Structure 1
Amino acid sequence: CLPETRGELRSTAKETADLFLQHVFRLHGLPKSLVTDRGSQFTSRFWKALQKLLGIDSRLSSAHHPQTDGQTERTNATLEQYLRCYVNYQQDNWVSLLPLSEFAYNNGVQASTKETPFFANYGFHPRFFPPVIETSEVPAAEDWLQELTAVQQLLLQQLDQAKEDYKRHADKHRQPGPEIKVGDRVLLSTRFLPSHRPCRKLDARFIGPYPVVAQLNPVTFKLQLPRSMRIHPVFHRSLLLLAEGVRPDADRPAPPPVLVDGEEEFEVQDILDSRFHRRRLQYLIDWVGFGPEERSWEDASTVH
């Protein structure tokens, strides 16, 4: 996990590359793929070019669903939960607890690999603090070790509890739906799409259907969207509705127009005919998402 900020300022793409060198490369070498959010440093031309030169498959989290980067989300939630149980009242000692928290997490078995991160990365399990059996001639050293051992044991206990709590909370918001496969046609939720209509409550809840062209993982899909929509075409399963039984001529809301330089634009499905009208070339346009009754003659100069 890379820190994305320097104090109050967000890191630039170049600074993020330096952080990658310090915190990732020196410990693990180059990864084959890297999952990030859609921060400006990760979508910049510099970062994309660097990833390509290094042979790293850059994977951005799906639009409007940061849970795509699930490992980081779950890790942060877990660390927060079992830091709470030992942080002091002033909450000013949590930084000193991070090394023990990270050690406890990395020594816990992960559901995805059935191994601990330590063993998966290094091939062995590092030693814990040994139980304090003998007394020492220096009480301060003995007290320090006893305190750290107690914190370590508590954090290990909280680790399993935190994982269970996170899974239970996440499952409350998951509802299994029909399986979606490449080639299926789906409706896309307008929940996170920009709308320029006066009342979103009266706007269409879904638009489409659009064909599924790729399944990136069990819950993330890539759609073939009209170019006029100008949005990232990868979406989480929760934003899609299988278009089973939806007739091609069913009464569905048309896709929203896009704003280009402040003007609404609609996408052309096909040019059906042409003519000269009042000395101007015009095309008969079939519009994406609209029926035959909406076809219209448009000046060629306005069609792009």
Structure 2
Amino acid sequence: MFGLPKMLQIPSGPWNPLSMDFITQFSLSNNFDSILVVVDRFSKMAFFIPNHGTITSLELAQIFISHVFSRHGIPQLKISRDLSTAFHSEAGGQKERVNQILEQYIWIYKVVKEELESKTRRFKKYADRNRSITPDFQPGDKVLLASKNIKTTRPTKKLSERWLGPFEVIEKIGSHAYHLKLPLQWKSVHPVFHMSLLEPVNQSSIPNCNQLPPPPVLVEEQEEWEVAQVLDSKLKRGKLWYLVEWKGFSEDPERTTWEPASSLTNSTDLVKELHSLYPDKPGPIT
């Protein structure tokens, strides 16, 4: 073996001196196809700076100012490129070793990324077997809402209605959710739902087929039927009562009931509407 060993300068402190090298001929990514490796010989800290293979000396100086000088000051550059050889411990062998480590990182990243993409494609393939494309609901469309996240008055989930509604679509939120117009009594329920909880309303083709009355809704975990209209008012033993028509029973006059004013705290708009049409009827004391 020819050539006597030559001792390199012992680093006097962080980033004094440093070594640098280029790794080139990568596939183009974000307009970059090479990496500038800058290594601190004292601490072994390294910068991996993306760039392109046609970099000029002026661009290289700007990279050093932005990534090295601005953080660690001006270093001493004392290793000539002519003395550097790969797979050798002398001269610039330290940065060559860092280059090998970086290439291992890149290879591992590439392999892991390909494996994750493959697993994701397989997962999507099997998941899509039990799914269909969701209709693109538009504002004003009527939809049914799955009841699995809504507490009902049934003693068990098995006896609960599978679908509630119909409800009107107000707007689309993002790509997978919709804002629905919920009853006033549902003020404790957030009105935005994922598309997987919605179904389009299919109109019956049977003539004069009436929809079944909706089930009672919940207001803060208490059962409450939805008020359709306030028809009349009266005073009974000094207390104010209202004649209420319930939503879903408008075709059955016998289902209207007299309710105390204290039971209509969630229907103040309908109460105000009654008194604006009939100002002479008994109303709340103001």
CA distance in 2: counterparts of 1:294 and 1:171, whole angstroms? 47
The residue matched to 2:148 in structure 1 has which SS? coil
Structure ranking higher in helix proportion: 1
In the superposition, relative to structure 1, how do residues 167 and 282 fare at CA in structure 2: closer, same or farther (>3 Å)? same
1:294 aligns with 2:251: no
The alpha-carbon deviation at position 269 of structure 1 amounts to 2.3
1:135 aligns with 2:87: yes
The residue matched to 1:257 in structure 2 has which SS? strand
Residue identity matched to 1:300: A
Contact 1:207 1:255 in 2 (8 A): no
CA distance in 1: counterparts of 2:228 and 2:35, whole angstroms? 65
Coordinate RMSD, CA, aligned:
3.4
Out of 202, 210, 215, the residue aligned to residue 249 of structure 1 is 210
In the superposition, relative to structure 1, how do residues 127 and 159 fare at CA in structure 2: closer, same or farther (>3 Å)? farther
Question: Which protein, 1 or 2, shows the higher relative CO under an 8 Å CA cutoff with sep ≥ 6?
Answer: 1
CA distance in 2: counterparts of 1:182 and 1:286, whole angstroms? 28
Structure 1, 284-293 or 228-237: larger mean CA deviation: 284-293
- Name stretches of at least 5 consecutive residues in structure 2 with no aligned partner: 1-27, 38-84, 266-286
CA distance in 1: counterparts of 2:241 and 2:228, whole angstroms? 16
Determine the structure 2 residue equivalent to 1:213: 170
In the superposition, relative to structure 1, how do residues 199 and 126 fare at CA in structure 2: closer, same or farther (>3 Å)? farther
CA distance in 2: counterparts of 1:180 and 1:272, whole angstroms? 35
Determine the structure 2 residue equivalent to 1:283: 242
The residue matched to 2:125 in structure 1 has which SS? helix
Contact 2:153 2:216 in 1 (8 A): no
The alpha-carbon deviation at position 172 of structure 1 amounts to 3.1
Alignment of 1:121-160 (within 5 A): 124-125=31-32, 127=34, 134-137=86-89, 138=93, 141=98, 144-145=101-102, 147-160=104-117
The alpha-carbon deviation at position 297 of structure 1 amounts to 0.6
Contact 1:186 1:210 in 2 (8 A): yes
CA distance in 1: counterparts of 2:110 and 2:36, whole angstroms? 10
Q: Which has the larger radius of gyration?
A: 2
**Percent identical:** 29
The alpha-carbon deviation at position 280 of structure 1 amounts to 2.8
Alignment of 1:1-304 (within 5 A): 119=30, 124-125=31-32, 127=34, 134-137=86-89, 138=93, 141=98, 144-145=101-102, 147-229=104-186, 230-245=188-203, 249-259=210-220, 263-291=222-250, 292=252, 293-304=254-265
Residue identity matched to 2:114: Q
CA distance in 2: counterparts of 1:267 and 1:282, whole angstroms? 17
Contact 1:190 1:205 in 2 (8 A): yes
Contact 2:164 2:214 in 1 (8 A): yes
Contact 1:272 1:283 in 2 (8 A): yes
Contact 1:258 1:266 in 2 (8 A): no
The alpha-carbon deviation at position 234 of structure 1 amounts to 1.0
The alpha-carbon deviation at position 198 of structure 1 amounts to 1.3
In the superposition, relative to structure 1, how do residues 285 and 248 fare at CA in structure 2: closer, same or farther (>3 Å)? farther
**How many residues in Structure 1 have an aligned counterpart in Structure 2?**
181
Contact 2:172 2:178 in 1 (8 A): yes
- Name stretches of at least 5 consecutive residues in structure 1 with no aligned partner: 1-115
CA distance in 2: counterparts of 1:244 and 1:294, whole angstroms? 27
The alpha-carbon deviation at position 284 of structure 1 amounts to 0.9
